[in-house]
Structure 1
Amino acid sequence: MAHLPNLIIDLAIILGTAAVTTLLFKWLKQPLVLGYILAGVLVGPKFSLFPTISDPETIRIWADIGVIVLLFSLGLEFNIKKLVKVGGTASMTGAFEISAMILLGYLTGMALGWSTMDSIFLGGIVSISSTTIIIRAFDELGIKTQQFAGIVFGVLVIEDIAAVLLLVLLSTLAVSNQFFSAEMLVAIMKLGFFLVIWFLGGIFLVPSLLRSGRKFITDETLLIVSLALCLLMVVFATSVGFSPALGAFIMGSILAGTIYAERIETLLTSIKDLFGAVFFVSVGMLIDPELLVQYAGPIALITVVVILGKAVNVTLGALIVGQPLKQSIQTGMSLAQIGEFSFIIAALGLNLKVTSAFLYPIAVGVSALTAFTTPYMIRASGSICTWVESKLSSRTRLFLTSYSSGAQTIGSVSDWYQLVREHLQIMIVNTAVILGIILISSRWLLPIITAEVVGKPYDGILAGFLSFFLMTPFLWALVLKRINRPVYTRLWTERKSYRGPLVTLAVTRGLLGLGLILLFLQQFFSVSLLLFVLVIAGGIWLVVGKRLPFIYDLIEKRFLVNLNARQIYQENRMGRNLLPWDAHLSYFEVSAESPGAGFTLSELALREKYGVNVISIARGSMTMLVPGRNERLFPGDKIAVIGTDQQLEHFISLIETQTKEKAQSTPTQEISLQKMAVDESFPFIGESIRNSGIREKTQGLIVGIERQGTRILNPDSTTFFLAGDVIWLAGNTKLIKEFQRENQLRAVK
């Protein structure tokens, strides 16, 4: 009989057991992750009733690959633009909740008598919610179109980023064993620097690489190339002292900005499912059932801490940033669980041997209990909101309503703030790029030149001049690039008090550039060669100096093209909120069985019957913004609709089948909700919406007016604009922003 490797036997045991348990959990309508964990318990060394795997170390290697693939897949769902579009509401809510839960978890661990390191890791474990569990619950409950779901998804993005950063910081903490230490500060600065370098370099190089080879890209080559890029970044991240998970996440987020992101996600699905299953089974293998029984009390306590702590802290965070009470409570109760990232954080402490053995099974037990309670928490959020409102005094309710409305008023960005922000941006970006060039040249290029090209002392001279040639465009931009000339000129000529700060900004940029030049010289040249080097460098600058703006503009344009290559709104499942109103954008696909298919918008009378407005219709590669009354709906059309939660729920029955499957793709043209103030610069004060011609100018609709505390949703076209109004405009983002800029220019004049 031929010898069969232990790995194949172990995989047969793992996948066979997982197949049975996942089918059982699918039948029970529970997360499959819990089925995988149960399979791991059954085939683990602590459970003798079933066959036990013989080579745990090999399975652990597969589990490590599973973590890499999971983080790579997570990165594919995230990109820089998505982070920008999350907005202040979700960002501040997520930051408040994560900070509060880390502190609460730490205090809970200390109250249980655990060690400081166990308590710190518990804080990280309880701070991250489960994206998988929430998406499953939202799908089953059919509430993806509701307004609060958009904030939930935004908070999940912030939590995912925080989880990746926690992996790095907790690893450093485990080594230094001090939270406030020089090592931790260095680690944070090092992490920030490498993140900037990786994202800037990755966004500039990777999409360009894929674009240059697009003629040869098939599904097979795309899968191999993307996995190769992932593993190369994992190797690179590990070589500079970071975790493999961070490298995988970064490469995934870089590829998320390319036009191939959806194809890569589809191709990676089977691989992710396979290695993800092995990872979660390995999670279960580390669980000792006796420990679960022994620590049943702490598991119950931490479960209560997670459910109540997350519900309360997310609700408070949302209220602080100006969300209405109902929406805040719904958001908080949706995020009251922990999941897959908690396992990874717990496994990190176990692998580094800095946490106790009981922490890992406790994290899994709490995750299982909170996953079970999540759907019930979401369902109960409406009733709890009603109960809370009944307990509040009329004065408190009025205060919350006024605060929510006031937090959403339009704030104008001052010229000075705008100019400082742009200066900081160009200083940070170009400083990071120059430091990256110096680092790469001194650590990698110089040794190669020394070993393969020329020896000392010419190796430093050659490497130095190559580095100087590469960094000159960025050095020019850092020191000499004119930033926002109209604003700069206006501040200099009209506001003399700003001349001192403007000169200070210019001097700061010059000193920063000088410091980088001195660092560069120190890395490559001796003092005896300094004068010679400065003369040669000056000659190079004189020769190429006039072309530096052109070269930098080419680099900047290529970067922006790559950054904007994938024009999708990952958050568009919920659209942007019309806050603090209940109305918001949502997207639907007209099904073949839709009762509304084949009828014109006027025949359907959507506004009269359902109270909603159709903002756009995407049909194939064509998108119609603000379609006319005679436009028909056809099967396959993807439409953007604005309305309240109740209106959209009522509207679904007309457009979609009973399965209520939402369209995952979005219109090819960018549409959004924008708000603006009707002030002295607004050209249509006293005119009606119809006569203003705003619809034609912006390809948009006035979908809301806030007037002296009164909100008019979907106002009639005969409504007049009055001074002091705040209007909400839905339509073509580019045209709306141009219209806003025109108003700002009128105000200046």
Structure 2
Amino acid sequence: MVHLPNLIRDLALILGAAAVTTLLFKRLKQPLVLGYILAGLLVGPNLPLFPTIADPETIRIWADIGVIILLFNLGLEFSFKKLAQVGGTAGLTGLIEIGGMLGLGYLTGQVLGWSTMDCIFLGGMVAISSTTIIFRAFEELGVKTQQFASLVFGILIIEDLVAILLLVLLSTLAATNQLFSTEMLTAVLKLGFFLVIWFLGGILLIPSLLRASRKFINDETLLVISLALCLGMVMLVTSVGFSSALGAFIMGSILAETLFVERIEHLLKPIRDLFGAVFFVSVGMLIDPAVLVQYAGPIALITVVVIAGKAFHVTVGALVAGQPLKGAIQTGMSLTQIGEFSFIIATLGLSLRVTSDFLYPIAVGVSALTAFTTPYLIRAAGPVYDWLEGRLSKRTRMVLSSYSAGAQTIGSVSNWRVLMRSYVQTMVVNGIVVVGIILLATRVLSPYWLSHGMQPVWAQLLTGLIALSLMIPFLWALAFRPVNSSVNVQGWAAKKSFRGPLLVLTVGRVVVAVGLVLFYLSQLFSLAVVVMVLLLLALLAGLMVDHVPLIYDLMERQFLLNLHAHQHQQHARPGWNLRPWDAHLAYVDVAPESSLIGKPLQALALRERFGINIVSIERGRITKLVPNRTDQLYPNDKLAVIGTDQQLEQFRHLLESGETEDTSLDTVVQEVSLQKLTVDTSFPFVGRSIRESGIREATQGLIVGIEREGRRLLNPDSTTIFLAGDVLWLAGNTKLIKRFQKHSKTHSENPAIPRDS
């Protein structure tokens, strides 16, 4: 008789149960995650009514792989570019929510009489919302293009990053049993250091290698390469003491900056779905129905805390960040659930043996209940807003509206602050890279030579030569590279009191660079050898004085090229809202069967029919900003449009198609954004019309709105005259708009410049 391995038998039970339950939950229009958890409960050891798996430890290994794939996929959706685009609104809202829920979760555990460690882990579990559940709910309800959705996506990005930090902090806390300790501070600094190193090195190397090999990359090789990079980063991260989930997340975020990200996501989808199902089934296997019955009261209490606490903290955070009341309520009621990161945090507590056994099934029960209520709460946001607005006084509504408008006003930043930011950024980034090279040399290269029989003296010399050669460009940038030279010269000439601090900054950079070199060399050589090496290094730097800046600039350009090579477009982007108006920027696709294809924009009269403005058309390898009246729409064009939720929804029905795979590797990306500019008396075009100002041509943009004396004018006519005190909303090429803003500020600070220049 042929023996069937337990692994195959167990997988058959798991996937069979998952198939039946997911079909049922699809029919009931409930999240599939709940179906997977139910499948795990059915085949788990705590429910003997059905066949039970034979080897739980093997399934745990598959579940660990599922966590890696799940976090890798979250990293692909995260990207460092998105984090930079999140802006202050989502960042402030997310931090207020997470801080509030951490405290509320801890207090809830205290009320229930739990141990301190259980309370801390409960706070972490209830602080993070479920990206999977929210994305699916938004798709089913058709609200992805609505204004509040962009803020929700931004908050989810902040939550993902904080969740990764929580995994590190909770692991350290479990080991030291002290919340405020040297070990905790060391863990945070270590995490920050390695994140910067991995980000800089990953963005510089991996996209460049993929681009250089693109002729040989097909779908099969791309899938193998991406999974190999993911697991390789997992091995590297675990070797330095972090979790495998962190490594998978970091590699996903690095690959998210490449031109291959859509193809990777497309190829990874079946693998993600398979191992994701195994992970959530393994979650259900750990549930004991008797524990759920025993702790029904705490589950109900924590569910209420999650729903009410998240709705309250997110709404308050959004209002503080300047969101209008309706958008704040919609955002708050969309994030009222916990999900995959909560399971991972609960699993961490179990694996470290620092939390009680009941905490895990409680987390699963709360997740199931909040996932079920999420779609209904999203739908209820509108009626809740109508009910609340009817009970607010007129004065309160005016105060909220004025605060929302004022919070978005562009503030001027002093030259001194700009200069300080540039100095700190230069010193921190290059200093971390130098320290990373030192660690690589002392902990990897030197031990490697010694382990292969090389004499210690020669091993030290070879290691020092390689390390110093790699350091030279970054030491030059740290010590001598000009920092924001125009502002630096202005600060030196403006006031004598600025010269002292500027001189201290300049000398301080050199001292830091020399100190790092001395620190490294002192670990390898005696004092006399250190002096000789310093002299040799100075001589080498003198010979390469013309080449080092070129090498550094080449690396910097390559880094920026990789970072901006792909701008992962979504139907709604965080931070591009025309507040406090309802108009905002969103993305729609032109369906191949659309009746608008092939007609000039002038004939379509989209502004007149729908009230929307087309800011850009992305077609194949190029992006056309501010199309003219004769431009036509073609199948699969990607349009950046500005309008209200209702206008965009009507327009989307005519245009939007299903997601398509973008395999182009040489897309020319031009960043489009919405910017706000305040007009004062020194504005170069005061008293002139929009047409006379030439702003459209200068910024490749549109003036989509003007705020004037409390009134708001959408889509102003080209004959509209600029008046002092106007607030302009410009949509178009980000770089050109910022250049125009800088040019306007130059006029304000130096009225001797002619206004027609």
TM-score range, shorter chain: over 0.9
CA distance in 2, matches of 1:86, 1:144: 16
Alignment match, 2:581? 581
1:727 is aligned to 728
Check the 8 A contact 2:21/2:39 in 1, yes or no. yes
Counterparts of residues 193-212 of structure 1 (less than 5 Å): 193-212=193-212
Change (3 A) 1:467 1:575: closer
Q: Report the residue type matching 1:719 in the other structure.
A: T
Give how far 1:348 is off: 0.7
> Which residue in the other structure is 1:117 paired with?
117
Residue 684 of structure 1 corresponds to which residue in structure 2? Answer: 685
Deviation at 1:617, TM superposition (A): 2.7
Question: 1:353 offset after TM fit, Å?
Answer: 0.7
Q: 2:300 matched to which residue of 1?
A: 300
- 1:155 has 2:175 as partner: no
Alignment map for 1:152-191 (pairs within 5 Å): 152-191=152-191
Asked if the contact 1:176/1:183 (under 8 Å) is kept, the reply is: yes
Which one is further off, 670-679 or 266-275?
A: 670-679
1:690-724 Cα distance to aligned partner (Å, 9 max, x none) = 23222222222110001122111111222111011
Distance 1:232 1:632, change over 3 A: closer
Q: Could you tell me which amino acid in structure 1 is paired with residue 51 of structure 2?
A: P
Per the alignment, in what secondary structure is the counterpart of residue 272 of structure 2?
Answer: helix
Residues in 2 aligned to 1:458 and 1:612: alpha-carbon distance in whole angstroms: 70
1:364 paired with 2:351, answer no
| SS of equivalent to 1:113 | coil
Q: CA deviation at 1:218?
A: 1.6
Instruction: Tell me which stretches of 4 or more aligned residues in structure 1 moved more than 6 Å.
Output: 662-667
Q: How does 1:150-549 map to 2 (within 5 A)?
A: 150-452=150-452, 454-549=454-549
How far apart in 1 are the matches of 2:510 and 2:131? Answer: 46
Q: Is the 8 A contact 2:148 2:330 kept in 1?
A: yes
Shift in Å, 1:512:
1.7
> Is the CA contact 1:617–1:623 (under 8 Å) kept in the aligned structure 2?
yes
Q: How many residues are treated as equivalent by the alignment? A: 746
Task: Say whether the 8 Å CA contact 1:577–1:584 is kept in structure 2.
Answer: yes
2: distance between equivalents of 1:42 and 1:401?
Answer: 52
**Mean CA deviation greater in 695-704 or 152-161:** 695-704
Return the letter of the residue paired with 1:688.
S
Contact conserved, 2:230 with 2:252, CA < 8 A, in 1? yes
Deviations 1:634-690 (A, max 9, x none): 44333222111122223334435xxx7578979953222111121244222111212
> SS state of the match for residue 193, structure 2?
helix
Change (3 A) 1:535 1:454: farther
Q: Distance in 1 between matches of 2:325 and 2:584?
A: 17
Alpha-carbon RMSD: 1.9
1:705 partner amino acid: I
Find the residue that maps to 1:576 and give its secondary structure. Answer: strand
- Shift of the 457–705 alpha-carbon distance from structure 1 to 2, 3 Å rule, reads same
Instruction: Tell me how far apart the structure 1 counterparts of residues 199 and 654 of structure 2 sit (CA, whole Å).
Output: 44
Which residue identity lines up with residue 443 of structure 2 in the other structure?
Answer: R
Q: Indicate the SS of the match to 2:553.
A: helix
Matched residues in 1 for 2:661 and 2:744: separation?
35
The aligned residue for residue 57 of structure 2 is 57
Aligned in 2, Cα 1:592/1:261: closer, same or farther, shift over 3 Å?
A: closer
Look up the equivalent residue of 2:308 and give its one-letter code.
Answer: L
Deviation digits for residues 544-574 of structure 1 (CA, Å, limit 9, x no counterpart): 3442212211221221122122133447457
Q: Is the 8 A contact 2:66 2:278 kept in 1?
A: yes
Cα drift, residue 500 of structure 1? 1.7
Kept after mapping to 2: 8 A contact 1:588/1:663: no
- The answer to which of 622-631 and 7-16 deviates more is 622-631
8 A Cα contact 1:699 1:731, kept in partner? yes
**Contact kept in structure 1, 2:571 and 2:588, CA below 8 Å:** no
Q: What's 1:607 paired with?
A: 607
Paired AA for residue 47 in structure 2: F
Asked if the contact 2:677/2:728 (under 8 Å) is kept, the reply is: yes
C-alpha displacement of 1:79: 1.4
Q: Deviations over 1:582-601 (max 9, x none)?
A: 10111222324434344433
The answer (yes or no) to whether the contact 2:87–2:575 under 8 Å persists in 1 is: no
Q: CA deviation at 1:453?
A: 6.2
Percent identity, aligned pairs only? 65
2-structure distance, mates of 1:554, 1:428:
20
Equivalent-residue separation in structure 2 for 1:465 and 1:76 (angstroms)? 37
Report 1:582-661 matches (<5 A). Answer: 582-656=582-656
How far the C-alpha of 1:620 sits from its partner, in A, is 3.4
The residue type paired with residue 609 of structure 2 is: K
Give the aligned residue type for 1:207: P
Q: Residues 575 and 668 from structure 1, CA distance in 2 versus in 1: closer, same or farther, beyond 3 angstroms? A: farther
The equivalent residue for 2:710 is: 709
Query: Do the aligned partners of residues 341 and 700 (structure 1) sit closer, same or farther apart at CA in structure 2, a change above 3 Å counting?
Result: same
Q: CA deviation at 1:452?
A: 2.9
Structure 2, unaligned runs of 5 or more: 751-757
Q: TM-score, normalised by structure 2?
A: 0.95
Q: Give the secondary structure class of the aligned counterpart of 1:587.
A: strand
Quote the residue 1:16 is aligned against.
16
Deviations 1:94-147 (A, max 9, x none): 011001101100000011000000000000000000111111111111111111
The 2-side partners of 1:217 and 1:315 are apart by 46
Q: Which moved more, 1:458-467 or 1:129-138?
A: 458-467
Deviation (angstroms), 1:259: 1.1
Distance 2:525 2:49 in 1: 69
Q: For residues 571 and 524 of structure 1, what CA distance do their matches in structure 2 show?
A: 55
Q: What is the distance in 2 between the residues matched to 1:580 and 1:53?
A: 56
Partner of 1:738: 739
Give the SS at the match of 1:174: helix
